[in-house]
Structure 1
């Protein structure tokens, strides 16, 4: 039996497309065993909460312009669900991905709940293999959840304040910009499973911040075996000189793996880092190649 032809669907809030709502477009093709689908999203503000179910075929959400193609919702952990109970962190996402294969390009995904409202996820990614290219992820606390599998972020903009990249997946952030919105925050809260070679790897990224933002930690271990590596990352002065935080649990200093290599900028002073983090050697850093990190899978063309 030959391979089924790919499906192309268009979405526009102006109504000049197959669908005006993104979720309706997803629902139209989200059937187990279906053909791969591209959902082309025309510029506009899509005010809806979207779920890509586990039964969905490989889907590409393709925006035309990242700055003008915006998916936004404002649930947070305290928002009451249909059952009258708070949603909690894991049901607060604007975009929720459970499919085995998923790609998003050229759009903005925003949780507009606002600062001080608690955990409020923009993208909840619990997929087998997920790719985000030229995507902006906007939020405050817990902006991006990386639940499982292998995830690749290329040329993305990710902002937040507390634990704004968190989860257990093996994830590569390739030439991304991380933006710290407030002082005394944390960029990552990894929960890498024990025995997993790679958790979060940041390659050739940049860390920026709002005016006057200071004392932001590169990470703290959500679970004991957290692994995070910053490779050739430019860090502004918002990064705390000690770099890493133990989350008030000194025993995690023995099990967490926090690494850096050839970072630059005023926030990258290796001599000031906590002694339980480490600077990689040239030989060690050379092993941090995408194809090695992902065990043979390369997301190019995915």
Structure 2
């Protein structure tokens, strides 16, 4: 069906782009669904749920992309098939996985998936406290090196080095020496366990400027660096999108890599800086800069010890604005996705804070807003600086998702952490359930992220 749309859309660039994107993400959905059987037979229910959650993300992305080019009966019929058959079936399968994980063979307890808004937290280990700290593997040896200009190194571009990575799953370490690399980088699905090592934030810089204002460019495709292969790691580099504050969606880093680790990295953009699109992701000691919904997606992403900075937004930023730091996009209550920020700082860049203090009433900043129906974002023991408004959270459109989202806070500090005037549809996480948002329980990180006390 989608192939037929593509073949009939030669003269329509936007519809052709939507169809190509749809074919791409549907193939990812099929890949993840095929993984589920092996996970179930091995008793790895959390893996099965993560992968089925991602399959649903990709199917919805196809439907959503076609929605904006819904100008033929062919597109209408395809959207109906996705919504009524494919997405509905995957949602039901995911719901059964959740029930089996929580209740096992006690099918009498099975039912529609429930969320925190209904007072339900899944059982987990209470010993998994929010204090667990992961770290990047120590002592990695480079398989290849990249230098600006190529002198004395194996490659002169990052993409050439990524292309050289094997497809057998063996870890492949790419050392990128200091320099500014003006390129778009893609790590394909079959390129697993690719590692990018730079010389430090601001020293090794990968930069691009693609944005949705350009013909045929979608938010997904605008990323300077886009990763699909599982087990991706990056450390000590900057990834940026320089499209500018008036270019709308322009992604710096997009990840669909399950069990990925990003440490000591700087991600710079404006609107939509970090597209944490799907699956399980861990960000440690990173600096993330942007303004409009600049951390968004439908992944299960954990941000630990990170610095989150709001940057000036418009061409004339003194006029004021409303910025949401996050826009999580969970579309189904059974999806094991959400954003958790732990021991992180929410503040503004020096330039933004000068604007803010010049007229705080017009510079309004919020922890998040609900991109999709079951948006979920939690801040645990973070420092929320003065720029965070008393309301704390921003609606998307009217009362959309306000009864189904879960926005939680726990023991945050700072001038913006006072919860006495928070919107009524946000929550304080009960102390008895804060362990649900540990690295171990939320993304099973202790199974795949090296711990700070682990021997390497």
**1:70 CA drift (Å):** 0.3
TM-score (norm 2): 0.62
Which residue of structure 2 aligns with residue 256 of structure 1?
A: 405
The 1:154–1:34 alpha-carbon spacing in structure 2 relative to 1, beyond 3 Å, is: closer
The one of 388, 400, 403 equivalent to 1:239 is 388
Q: Does 1:32 align with 2:192?
A: no
Q: Which runs of 5+ in 1 are unaligned?
A: 1-5, 81-85
Which residue of structure 1 aligns with residue 333 of structure 2?
A: 194
1:141-290 matches, cutoff 5 A: 141-182=271-312, 183-192=321-330, 193-209=332-348, 210=352, 211-213=354-356, 214-290=363-439
SS of the residue 2:243 aligns to: coil
Q: Does 1:140 align with 2:270?
A: yes
1:113-124 matches, cutoff 5 A: 113-124=243-254
**1:289 CA drift (Å):** 1.5
SS of the residue 2:152 aligns to: coil
**1:34 CA drift (Å):** 4.9
The separation in 1 between residues aligned to 2:398 and 2:229, in whole angstroms, is 35
What CA RMSD, in Å, does the superposition of the two structures yield over aligned residues? Answer: 1.6
Which residue of structure 2 aligns with residue 300 of structure 1?
A: 450
**1:187 CA drift (Å):** 0.5
Which residue of structure 2 aligns with residue 60 of structure 1?
A: 195
The 1:266–1:19 alpha-carbon spacing in structure 2 relative to 1, beyond 3 Å, is: same
The separation in 2 between residues aligned to 1:48 and 1:158, in whole angstroms, is 20
The separation in 1 between residues aligned to 2:171 and 2:400, in whole angstroms, is 46
2:279 and 2:337 in contact (8 A); partners too: no
1:72-91 matches, cutoff 5 A: 72-80=207-215, 86-91=216-221
SS of the residue 2:440 aligns to: helix
1:148 and 1:170 in contact (8 A); partners too: yes
2:259 and 2:448 in contact (8 A); partners too: no
**1:164 CA drift (Å):** 0.2
**1:118 CA drift (Å):** 0.6
1:231 and 1:260 in contact (8 A); partners too: yes
The separation in 1 between residues aligned to 2:205 and 2:163, in whole angstroms, is 19
Using CA pairs under 8 Å that are at least 6 residues apart, name the structure with larger relative contact order, 1 or 2: 2
Q: Which runs of 5+ in 2 are unaligned?
A: 1-140, 313-320, 357-362
The 1:198–1:297 alpha-carbon spacing in structure 2 relative to 1, beyond 3 Å, is: farther
Which residue of structure 1 aligns with residue 255 of structure 2?
A: 125
The separation in 2 between residues aligned to 1:146 and 1:74, in whole angstroms, is 19
**1:266 CA drift (Å):** 1.3
The separation in 2 between residues aligned to 1:226 and 1:34, in whole angstroms, is 33
1:92-107 matches, cutoff 5 A: 92-107=222-237
SS of the residue 1:87 aligns to: coil
**1:298 CA drift (Å):** 4.1
The separation in 2 between residues aligned to 1:251 and 1:34, in whole angstroms, is 42
The separation in 1 between residues aligned to 2:299 and 2:183, in whole angstroms, is 26
The separation in 1 between residues aligned to 2:400 and 2:253, in whole angstroms, is 31
**1:282 CA drift (Å):** 2.1
Normalized per residue, which structure has more helix?
2
**1:251 CA drift (Å):** 4.0
The separation in 1 between residues aligned to 2:374 and 2:211, in whole angstroms, is 27
**1:7 CA drift (Å):** 6.8
The one of 41, 44, 52 equivalent to 2:176 is 41
The separation in 2 between residues aligned to 1:57 and 1:153, in whole angstroms, is 18
The answer to which of 246-255 and 192-201 deviates more is 192-201
